[in-house]
Every structure is written in structure tokens, then in C-alpha cells.
């Protein structure tokens, strides 16, 4: 068994393959438990891991989109990967997480992988100018019951956990430095998980407890395998803001930046809420 709890959590065993459909077995991990199910980020990472370790996988992930359909219970689950289309340089996958005797689908996802080429490149989005991670106080999470919070070092620059119970805010932006605990070199799976590290933006807007949960997450990977190696276990700057809160759902948009100023991923979520 791998040593790092992250690697334990995303570990999968291939069960069977038939007609481009592969089945993988995994299990929830107590270290990444949220309130009534696993941290959504570890679930995203696990579905991505199934494709990454597929013998037919070619290229790097460029997009991953998941919709969360049902709560995931503690224990075993199955992941099904299906390579639905491929060219010489791209692959299109369907991925699902199923649980229970009836094979209920708890997560429905699609992903695209591609071989990268050298081209003209430019980043139009601007990395915010913020204090470096080592000058930013570490957030204490003792007051929160969610186990997964203890698997990250969170250093909030703005819009932190202390702001979600202090009344409404008109701006729901959060900026924070994030790294795995214990330290772990960033890869595609941990980057996917970090894309879900943001608490629902409505906590800041309302400034009071309410029910909310991610129902859809979209990730565009800008980093390739080589540029991730350069990040190593350094903290990444994670920035999120709310977009529109309307009739039970809102969306939030986020970026994950390396310390060196490279945009590693852009990501969006649709979040269900009740008030």
C-alpha cells in the first residue's frame, strides 16, 4: 500500500476489461472524508486516476467534467472507464463511479486527453499579486469536523474560513496557498483534487451556515506532465469567486497557479444550495 494517504485514497485495482469498457475497484478513505461522503476533490482525482493508469491511455488530461449524482457511501465502489473515441493525438473517455448491489451511478464524468505540441503560448489571465506562502499564516482547522481539511495546508490571503460566519459579504473571492499534507509532489490527480478545495462561495455571500454541495465540476488542465514536475510539493495559489446565485444553484470559477506564475488549471463548479 502506498504511504501517502492521497495515494491510498486514489488507489484502484483493475477488475475486468471488455470491449473498451474497463472496471476498476476502489474504496473511500477516512482521511479524505467530508461531512456525509468523501471530499469531492478526492472523488474527481480517483476518476481521473482510473483513466491515467489505463493501459490504453495516451497523452495528458486536458479536460475533465464530473456531475455528482448521488452521495457516495463509506466503503467500496466501482469505476468504469470507456474509451469512446480516439485520434492519433486525442482520446475521449466516459467515466462513472458506481456503488451498491444495483450499480447505482454516483458520479457521471467525461474526460479528454491529448498529446501536447509546442506552439505559441500566452497567459491572458493575470495571477494576483499576493504575499508569498511562507509569509501567509496557516489556517487552523481544529474547529471543523471534516477530515479532508487536515490533508491540506491552507494559507488564506483573502476570503477565509474565518469569514464564513461573520455575516454577508458582497464579494465571494477567496485567495489561498494550498499544498498537500504531508507534502507530496503535484500531479494531475492532486491538481484535480485541489480544484475542489474551495468551500461553496455562498458561505461568504451569506456569512451564515446553510446547505450547499457541488453538483458539477469542470477542469481545464493547462499544466502538462513535465511542468507539474517543476512544481513539486510547493504550495499553489488557488483563487475562486462566485458568478451567479439563482434559484437553488450557483456557479463559481477558479484558477490554480504555480508559485512561478504558471496557470496550472482553470476550473468551474455548479453548486446546489438551500436557504
Site for a copy of itself in 240-259 (CB under 8 A): 241-249, 251, 253, 255
Looking at residue 142, the DSSP 8-state letter turns out to be T
141 binds a copy of itself (CB under 8 A): no
146 binds a copy of itself (CB under 8 A): no
User: Total binding residues for a copy of itself by CB under 8 A?
Assistant: 64
Q: Cα-flanking dihedrals φ and ψ of residue 232, to 5°?
A: 60, -140
Binding to a copy of itself by CB under 8 A, coded x per residue (else -) over 115-134, reads -xxxxxxxxxx---------
Considering only 30, 87, 140, 165, the residue that binds a copy of itself (CB under 8 A) is 87
Binding to a copy of itself by CB under 8 A, coded x per residue (else -) over 39-78, reads -----------------------xx-x-x-xx--------
Considering only 171, 182, 183, 185, the residue that binds a copy of itself (CB under 8 A) is 171
Which residue's CB is nearer to a copy of itself, number 63 or number 259? 63
Give least dist CB 11 to a copy of itself, A.
25
At a CB cut-off of 8 Å and minimum separation 6, what does 222 contact?
262, 263, 264, 265, 266
Cell 490554480, residue located: 256
Please state, in angstroms and rounded to a whole number, the distance separating the CA atoms of residues 34 and 40.
8
Cell of 142: 481544529
Classify the phi-psi angles of 96: left when phi > 0, otherwise alpha if psi is within -120 to 50, otherwise beta: beta
Q: How many CB atoms lie within 10 A of CB 137?
A: 10
Cell of 106: 454516483
Cell 493547462, residue located: 222
Distance, C-alpha 100 to centroid of its chain: 24
Considering only 148, 222, 231, 258, the residue that binds a copy of itself (CB under 8 A) is 222
Give least dist CB 129 to a copy of itself, A.
18
The answer to whether residues 238 and 178 touch, using CB atoms and an 8 Å cutoff, is yes
Cell 473517455, residue located: 93
| Interacting residues with a copy of itself (CB under 8 A) | 62-63, 65, 67, 69-70, 84-85, 87, 90, 92-94, 96, 104-106, 108-110, 112, 114, 116-125, 170-172, 201, 205-206, 215-216, 218, 220, 222, 224, 241-249, 251, 253, 255, 263, 266, 268, 270, 272-275
Amino acid at each position: 500500500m502506498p504511504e501517502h494517504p492521497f495515494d491510498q485514497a486514489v488507489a484502484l485495482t483493475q477488475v475486468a476489461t471488455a470491449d473498451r469498457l474497463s472496471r476498476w475497484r476502489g474504496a473511500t478513505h477516512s482521511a479524505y472524508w467530508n461531512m456525509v461522503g468523501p471530499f469531492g476533490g478526492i472523488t474527481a482525482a480517483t476518476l481521473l486516476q482510473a483513466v491515467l493508469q489505463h493501459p490504453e491511455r495516451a497523452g495528458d488530461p486536458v479536460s475533465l467534467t464530473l456531475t455528482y449524482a448521488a452521495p457516495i457511501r463509506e466503503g467500496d465502489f466501482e469505476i468504469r472507464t470507456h474509451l469512446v473515441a480516439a485520434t492519433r493525438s486525442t482520446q475521449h473517455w466516459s467515466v462513472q463511479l458506481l456503488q451498491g448491489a444495483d450499480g447505482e451511478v454516483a458520479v457521471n464524468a467525461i474526460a479528454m486527453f491529448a498529446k501536447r505540441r509546442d506552439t505559441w503560448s500566452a497567459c491572458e489571465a493575470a495571477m494576483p499579486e499576493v504575499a508569498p506562502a511562507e509569509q501567509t499564516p496557516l489556517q487552523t482547522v481544529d474547529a471543523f469536523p471534516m477530515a479532508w481539511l487536515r490533508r491540506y495546508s491552507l494559507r488564506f490571503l483573502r476570503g477565509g474560513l474565518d469569514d464564513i460566519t461573520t455575516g454577508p459579504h458582497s464579494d465571494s473571492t477567496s485567495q489561498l496557498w494550498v499544498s498537500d499534507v504531508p507534502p507530496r509532489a503535484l500531479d494531475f490527480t492532486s491538481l484535480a483534487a485541489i480544484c475542489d478545495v474551495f468551500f461553496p462561495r455562498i458561505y461568504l455571500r451569506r456569512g451564515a451556515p446553510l446547505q450547499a454541495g457541488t453538483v458539477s465540476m469542470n477542469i481545464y488542465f493547462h499544466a502538462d506532465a513535465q511542468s507539474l514536475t517543476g512544481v513539486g510539493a510547493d504550495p499553489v495559489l488557488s483563487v475562486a469567486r462566485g458568478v451567479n446565485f439563482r434559484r437553488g444553484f450557483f456557479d463559481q470559477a477558479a484558477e490554480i497557479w504555480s508559485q512561478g506564475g504558471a496557470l496550472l488549471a482553470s476550473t468551474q463548479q455548479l453548486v446546489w444550495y438551500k436557504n
